[in-house]
Amino acid sequence: MRPSTPLNEHRGSISLGPRLRAVEVRMTHDARAERAMQKLDLHAPPDWNKTISKKELTHLLSAGDQTGIHVVIGDIRGSTHLMREAISSREYATITTMFTEKMRKLAQKNSGWFDKFTGDGFVVYWIYGTKHSKFLSEVVTFSKLAHEAFEEEIFPEHRKNARNLPAHVGLALGIDSGRCALEEIAGDFTIIGHAVVGATRMAEAAAKQETLCNIRMGSILGADPSLKGKIELQEAVAKTKEYPEYGQEAYRVLFK
């Protein structure tokens, strides 16, 4: 008697049918979204469900769709020098933890999602969807407070723990905005899109205690009536990887 063949060896002879396949795909998407929601708890502000519904967020995570997101990238200028000149490596680690937690609290207090910490920097974002003006005030407030916190709380601790202190140490920020997606990378969820690259380029070009944005983001900030009297935009030139020789037009964001 010929032995029966396992189902997985029928090589296409059994069809699941379109309905069953659709259910299977939906279950896969739902499972992915649920896993993402659990991981995003680490990044989310306490009031996140007041700014975007769970249904909307679940859809973004399961479908991999892009949506409008404001991005702030932070980078500590001279961080490798701080590490090299640290009197105590343990104290350096303590200060770094202090910096991370301070930025996280400031971000979440201003409805921002604290994406990740890179050792000498961070990514914070705000999901605005289709309305550009949404969360611009929070972006500006967070950026201003981040600079103040670094200068008043973090930098003095590094100074006390330094053998020598380079003059260019400070927090540099870059801001951009655009359509991004939330995707899973190495077991965690992060944002991917041109706005992340744009904010990174601005942060890389900014000097200590400086915030830069490209001309598109500058036009958005400058046109928003809620920011009147809160910021001043100064024309600047940012030397970026794409435009290393001549630089690209940018705006320096000054906080009032």
pLDDT digits (tens, 9 = 90+) for 87-97: 999 999 999 99
Q: Is the confidence at residue 236, as pLDDT, over 60?
A: yes
101 SS3 class:
helix
Q: Is the confidence at residue 59, as pLDDT, over 70?
A: no
Q: Is the confidence at residue 142, as pLDDT, over 50?
A: yes
Is residue 56 very low, low, confident or very high in pLDDT (cuts 50, 70, 90)?
Answer: confident
Is residue 4 very low, low, confident or very high in pLDDT (cuts 50, 70, 90)?
Answer: very low
Per mean pLDDT, which of 13-17, 133-137, 141-145, 187-191 is the most reliable? Answer: 141-145
Domains of the chain (ranges; CATH) run 17-199 (3.30.70.1230)
75 SS3 class:
strand
What does the alpha-carbon distance between residue 36 and residue 38 come to, in Å, rounded to a whole number? Answer: 5
What does the alpha-carbon distance between residue 132 and residue 164 come to, in Å, rounded to a whole number? Answer: 44
Is residue 41 very low, low, confident or very high in pLDDT (cuts 50, 70, 90)?
Answer: low
Looking at residue 13, what is its pLDDT?
A: 42
Looking at residue 256, what is its pLDDT?
A: 93
Q: Is the confidence at residue 213, as pLDDT, over 60?
A: yes
Q: Are 182 and 61 in contact (CB under 8 A)?
A: yes
Compute φ and ψ for 249, nearest 5 degrees.
-65, 140
pLDDT digits (tens, 9 = 90+) for 112-130: 999 866 668 899 999 998 8
Is residue 34 very low, low, confident or very high in pLDDT (cuts 50, 70, 90)?
Answer: low
DSSP conformation class of 250:
E
